[in-house]
């Protein structure tokens, strides 16, 4: 296992880092083509701009519509990258992901199903189609730490698990951000000229909304958590927190609506204060904000009768529930 040397945000020279990494990418790819997947998160956005700077049109950027993203996300991200001149192609892979997720309830099996679908099936095809030999990817040091520590298998970590992507998927992976943590990536993204809506964007996990559905991630359950997510993001937009989210529980509880019993769904809200995602505390939200959230969620998300707020810290909690 190769040792990754951390560059802290405070010691990072963003300009020099960009020059160095762009040169490295050019050297590795040579006269060939590379591809990358843009999810709109700060890591993949940063890698897209870095790759674009290094390779221009020889970097093919795709947005994989896996069916588990948030409301309107594919269209918003493609539009945001039009401005800096990056052409992003949307690939509809919803059926592939939902069929891979069918029947799976175990968190790590869910991550593995997403990894295999993403890297082998969807990317395997795109690599063939584009003639690329390299995939540019925004893995950061925290992804590696948590995978190696056995906390969560991040969907984008291979080498540290003894997996050779060339052997497993047929292409090589370039990871220019691997020495950084989230705060360092934000600095680089800003220096690359990305707008603050991107470099200050709240983190969102690779396994997307399936990391926020406890139990099976079906189309219906994803639709439910997507709706709750929109409400949480609207209501907490002005709160200065590291990350906030809605989680759909697997257990139902007895509720009542219109004087009738309703064995309904439970949504848990989490809102975190953190610097680098390694440790986190729940944000002390005003109770009136929590009440507003609960009232909107039970009336706007069909079948939800219970809304809770997580008050445990990370550790021992983790930020996502799956």
Given the rule CB under 6 A, which residues bind ligand XMP?
111, 146, 152, 154-155, 203, 205-207, 211, 243, 277, 314, 318-320
- CB 205 to ligand XMP: min, Å: 3
- CB 285 to ligand XMP: min, Å: 18
Radius of gyration, CA atoms only, the chain: 20
- CB 138 to ligand XMP: min, Å: 9
Nearer to ligand XMP by Cβ, of 302 and 315: the residue is 315
Nearer to ligand XMP by Cβ, of 21 and 181: the residue is 181
- CB 80 to ligand XMP: min, Å: 19
Task: With CA atoms as reference, report the closest residue to 295 among 237, 226, 242, 232.
Answer: 232
Nearer to ligand XMP by Cβ, of 210 and 306: the residue is 210
Task: With CA atoms as reference, report the closest residue to 51 among 75, 73, 32.
Answer: 32
- CB 246 to ligand XMP: min, Å: 13
Nearer to ligand XMP by Cβ, of 184 and 207: the residue is 207
Asked if 42 and 189 count as a contact pair (C-beta separation under 8 A), the reply is yes
Question: Burial letters for 182-214: b for 16+ Cβ neighbours within 10 Å, e otherwise?
Answer: bebbbbbbbbbebeeebbebebbbbbbbbbbbb
Asked if 77 and 40 count as a contact pair (C-beta separation under 8 A), the reply is yes
To which H or E segment does residue 142 belong?
helix 141-148
- CB 49 to ligand XMP: min, Å: 18
Nearer to ligand XMP by Cβ, of 147 and 298: the residue is 147
- Outline where DSSP puts E strands in the chain: 34-37, 59-65, 88-92, 134-136, 172-174, 243-248, 253-257, 260-273, 281-282, 304-309
- CB 253 to ligand XMP: min, Å: 24
Q: How crowded is the C-beta side of 34, counted as CA atoms within 13 Å? A: 28
Nearer to ligand XMP by Cβ, of 205 and 282: the residue is 205
Say which residue the tokens 């994989």 belong to. Answer: 64
Task: With CA atoms as reference, report the closest residue to 201 among 318, 297, 290, 77.
Answer: 77
Report the 10 Å Cβ neighbour count for 268. 18
Asked if 269 and 301 count as a contact pair (C-beta separation under 8 A), the reply is no
150: left (phi over 0), alpha (psi -120 to 50) or beta: left
Nearer to ligand XMP by Cβ, of 13 and 71: the residue is 71
- CB 19 to ligand XMP: min, Å: 26
Pairing of strands 260-273, 281-282: antiparallel
Nearer to ligand XMP by Cβ, of 9 and 33: the residue is 9
């Amino acid at each position: 296992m190769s040792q990754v040397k951390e560059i802290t945000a405070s010691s990072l020279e963003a300009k020099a880092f960009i020059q160095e990494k762009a040169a490295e990418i050019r050297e590795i790819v040579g006269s060939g083509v590379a591809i990358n997947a843009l999810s709109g998160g700060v890591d993949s956005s940063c890698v897209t701009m870095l790759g674009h700077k290094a390779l221009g049109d020889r970097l093919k950027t795709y947005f994989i519509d896996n069916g588990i993203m948030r409301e309107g996300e594919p269209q918003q991200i493609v539009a945001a990258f039009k401005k800096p001149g990056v052409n992003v192609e949307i690939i509809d892979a919803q059926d592939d992901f939902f069929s891979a997720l069918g029947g799976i309830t175990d968190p790590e099996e869910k991550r593995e199903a997403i990894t295999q679908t993403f890297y082998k099936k969807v990317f395997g095809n795109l690599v063939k189609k584009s003639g690329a030999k390299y995939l540019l990817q925004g893995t950061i040091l925290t992804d590696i730490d948590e995978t190696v520590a056995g906390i969560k298998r991040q969907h984008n970590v291979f080498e540290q698990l003894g997996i050779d992507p060339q052997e497993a998927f047929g292409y090589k992976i370039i990871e220019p951000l691997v020495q950084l943590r989230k705060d360092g990536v934000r600095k680089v993204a800003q220096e690359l000229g990305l707008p603050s809506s991107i470099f200050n964007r709240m983190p969102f996990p690779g396994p997307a909304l399936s990391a926020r559905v406890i139990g099976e991630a079906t189309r219906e359950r994803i639709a439910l958590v997507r709706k709750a997510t929109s409400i949480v993001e609207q209501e907490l937009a002005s709160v200065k927190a590291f990350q906030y989210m809605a989680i759909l529980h697997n257990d139902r509880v007895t509720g009542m609506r219109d004087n009738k019993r309703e064995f309904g769904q439970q949504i848990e809200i989490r809102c975190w204060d953190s610097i680098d995602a390694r440790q986190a505390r729940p944000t002390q939200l005003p109770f009136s904000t929590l009440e507003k959230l609960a009232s909107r969620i039970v009336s706007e998300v069909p079948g939800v009768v219970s809304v809770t707020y997580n008050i445990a810290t990370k550790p021992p909690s983790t930020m996502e529930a799956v």
